Structure 1
Amino acid sequence: MTHDPLGPQPHTPPQPQDAPPGPLDGLRVVEMGSLLAGPFVGQLLGDFGAEVVKIEPPGVGDPMRAWGRHKPQGQSLWFPVIARNKKSVTLDLRQQAGQDIARELIAGADVLVENFRPGTLERWGLGPDELHALNPRLVIVRVSGYGQTGPYRGRAGFGSIGEAVGGLRALSGEPGQPPVRVGISIGDMLAGTLGALGAMMALFGRLRSGQGQVVDISLYEAVLTYMESMIPEYALTGQTRERSGSVLPGIAPSNIYPALTAAGEPGEWVVIGANGDNVFRRLVQEMGEPGLADHPDYATHEARGQHMREIDDRIAQWTSALGADEVVARLEAAGVPASKMYSARDMMNDPHFAARGNIVTLPHRTLGDFPMQGVVPRLTGTPGSVRTLGPDLGEHNAEIYGERLGRTPEQLAQLAADGVI
Structure 2
Amino acid sequence: MTSKQAMPLAGIKVLELGTLIAGPFCARMLGEFGAEVIKVESPQGGDPIRTWRVLKDGTSLWWSVQSRNKKSLTLNMKSEKGREIARQLALEADIIIENYRPGVLEKWGMGYEQLKAINPATIMVRLSGFGQTGPMKDLPGFGAIGESMGGLRYVSGHADRPPVRVGVSIGDSVAALHGVIGAMMALRHRDVTGGRLNGEGQMVDVALYESVFNLMESLVPEYDHAGVVRERTGGALPGIVPSNTYTTRDGENIVIAGNGDAIFKRLMLAIGRIDMAGDPELERNDGRVKRTEEIDGAIQAWCDTMEIDSALTVLKAADVPAGKIYSVRDMMTDPQFLAREMFEQHQFADGTPVKLPAISPKLSATPGQTRWIGPALGQHNEEVLQSLGYSAEQIAALKQDGVL
> Would the TM-score normalized by the shorter structure come out above 0.5?
yes
- Report the residue type matching 2:124 in the other structure: I
- Report the residue type matching 1:250 in the other structure: G
SS at 1:78 equivalent: helix
Q: Which residue of 2 aligns with 1:213?
A: 202
Q: Which residue of 2 aligns with 1:407?
A: 390
SS at 2:377 equivalent: coil
Q: Distance in 2 between matches of 1:62 and 1:85?
A: 16
Q: Distance in 1 between matches of 2:180 and 2:46?
A: 23
Choose which of 127, 133, 137 in structure 1 pairs with 2:111.
127
Q: Which residue of 2 aligns with 1:183?
A: 167
Deviation at 1:296, TM superposition (A): 4.5
Q: Distance in 2 between matches of 1:102 and 1:20?
A: 26
Choose which of 211, 216, 221 in structure 2 pairs with 1:227.
216
SS at 1:177 equivalent: coil
Deviation at 1:373, TM superposition (A): 1.7
Q: Which residue of 2 aligns with 1:47?
A: 32
Choose which of 166, 184, 203 in structure 1 pairs with 2:150.
166
1:341-360 alignment runs, 5 A limit: 341-360=325-344
Choose which of 396, 399, 402 in structure 2 pairs with 1:416.
399
Choose which of 41, 48, 61 in structure 2 pairs with 1:56.
41
> RMSD across aligned C-alpha pairs, in angstroms?
1.5
User: Deviations along 1:235-265, whole A, 9 cap, x unmatched?
Assistant: 11111111111112221111111114xxxxx
The answer to whether the 8 A contact 1:375-1:384 is kept is: yes
Deviation at 1:300, TM superposition (A): 2.4
Deviation at 1:186, TM superposition (A): 0.4
Deviation at 1:268, TM superposition (A): 0.7
Distance 1:336 1:367, change over 3 A: farther
Q: Distance in 2 between matches of 1:247 and 1:311?
A: 12
Which consecutive residues of structure 1, in runs of 5 or more, have no partner in the other structure? 1-15, 261-265
Q: Which residue of 2 aligns with 1:259?
A: 248
Deviation at 1:297, TM superposition (A): 4.9
- Report the residue type matching 2:356 in the other structure: M
Q: Which residue of 2 aligns with 1:371?
A: 355
- Report the residue type matching 2:206 in the other structure: I
Distance 1:367 1:173, change over 3 A: farther
Deviation at 1:267, TM superposition (A): 2.1
Deviation at 1:18, TM superposition (A): 6.6
Choose which of 7, 17, 21 in structure 2 pairs with 1:36.
21
Q: Distance in 2 between matches of 1:400 and 1:20?
A: 20
Q: Which residue of 1 aligns with 2:366?
A: 382
Q: Which residue of 1 aligns with 2:62?
A: 78
SS at 1:339 equivalent: strand
Q: Which residue of 1 aligns with 2:196?
A: none
- Report the residue type matching 1:416 in the other structure: K
Deviation at 1:74, TM superposition (A): 3.0
1:109-124 alignment runs, 5 A limit: 109-124=93-108
The answer to whether the 8 A contact 2:2-2:369 is kept is: no
Deviation at 1:322, TM superposition (A): 1.5
User: Deviations along 1:126-167, whole A, 9 cap, x unmatched?
Assistant: 111221233221210000011001111111100001111111
The answer to whether the 8 A contact 1:361-1:371 is kept is: yes
Q: Distance in 1 between matches of 2:3 and 2:79?
A: 40
Q: Which residue of 1 aligns with 2:297?
A: 313
How high is the TM-score relative to the length of structure 2?
Answer: 0.95
How high is the TM-score relative to the length of structure 1?
Answer: 0.92
The answer to whether the 8 A contact 1:297-1:307 is kept is: no
Q: Distance in 1 between matches of 2:390 and 2:5?
A: 31
Q: Distance in 2 between matches of 1:200 and 1:173?
A: 35
SS at 2:61 equivalent: coil
SS at 2:154 equivalent: helix
Which consecutive residues of structure 2, in runs of 5 or more, have no partner in the other structure? 194-198
Choose which of 234, 250, 258 in structure 1 pairs with 2:239.
250
- Report the residue type matching 2:45 in the other structure: V
The answer to whether the 8 A contact 1:145-1:219 is kept is: yes
The answer to whether the 8 A contact 1:20-1:382 is kept is: no
SS at 1:54 equivalent: strand
User: Deviations along 1:349-378, whole A, 9 cap, x unmatched?
Assistant: 112111112112211224722212211111
Q: Distance in 1 between matches of 2:380 and 2:61?
A: 21
Instruction: Determine whether 1:67 maps to 2:52.
Output: yes
Q: Which residue of 2 aligns with 1:236?
A: 225
Deviation at 1:346, TM superposition (A): 1.2
Q: Which residue of 1 aligns with 2:11?
A: 26
Deviation at 1:291, TM superposition (A): 2.3
Deviation at 1:93, TM superposition (A): 1.4
